[in-house]
Amino acid sequence: MASNLSLAGSGGNPGIFECPNCRQTIDVTSSQCRFCSTAVDPEAAAMAAEKMAKINRGCSDASFLRTAAISIFAFIGIMFIPFMGLLGLVGYYFLLLAVPFLAIRWWIRFHNIQTDDTDFRRARITVIVISGLILLPWIWTIVSHV
């Protein structure tokens, strides 16, 4: 059994995929879909499960990236709270470097995934928006220090 709450089975092997017939999520070790009784090809199931795991990681990373990007603006606000300015400044500059790194990492890992998954499409849009908006804090930092 996996030691964490992931969709991967033991040993890091993906464990679930969508049935090609009914689109229900089933276990990779199944010989047939439990919902529509369609026969399951073990090799196709393994490849589909691996792709689904990668899509899920992409969605999760995009969600984390969104949280980090929003936190930049929270740290800007913290800079103006008495006795908290240093914390806000350190957090702001850390995230100002970390968010572009996370966005670049996301693009390298997940840019070539072709899927009709709506969650992944939403994750891709989130990363596109964050990649564009990350320029705003950089511009604000440059203008405020000139």
Q: What is the structure's pLDDT at 14?
A: 62
Say if 5 falls within a structural domain: no
Reported as a single tens digit per residue, the pLDDT across 20-44 is 888 888 888 888 888 898 888 888 8
Q: What is the structure's pLDDT at 125?
A: 95
Query: Which 3 state secondary structure label does DSSP give 21?
Result: coil
Say if 96 falls within a structural domain: yes
Lowest mean pLDDT among 5-14, 52-61, 81-90: 5-14
Q: What angle do CA 33, 41, 24 make, to 5 degrees?
A: 30
Reported as a single tens digit per residue, the pLDDT across 58-74 is 999 999 999 999 999 89
Say if 130 falls within a structural domain: yes
pTM beyond 0.85: the answer is no
Total of domains in the chain: 1
Lowest mean pLDDT among 46-50, 85-89, 101-105: 46-50
Alpha helices in 79-117 (DSSP H): 85-110
Say if 41 falls within a structural domain: yes
Say if 2 falls within a structural domain: no
Say if 65 falls within a structural domain: yes
Percentage with pLDDT > 90 across the chain: 48
Domain that holds residue 133: 10-144
Say if 114 falls within a structural domain: yes
Average pLDDT over residues 88-96: 93
- For helices 42-78 and 118-133, the axis angle rounded to 10 degrees is 30
Q: What is the mean pLDDT of the chain?
A: 85
Beta bridge partners of 18: 25
Residue 134, phi then psi, degrees to nearest 5: -65, -15
Distances in Å between the alpha carbon of 70 and those of 9, 92, 134, 139? Answer: 33, 11, 10, 16
Say if 3 falls within a structural domain: no
Q: Which residues contact 13 (CB under 8 A, 6 or more apart)?
A: 28, 46, 49
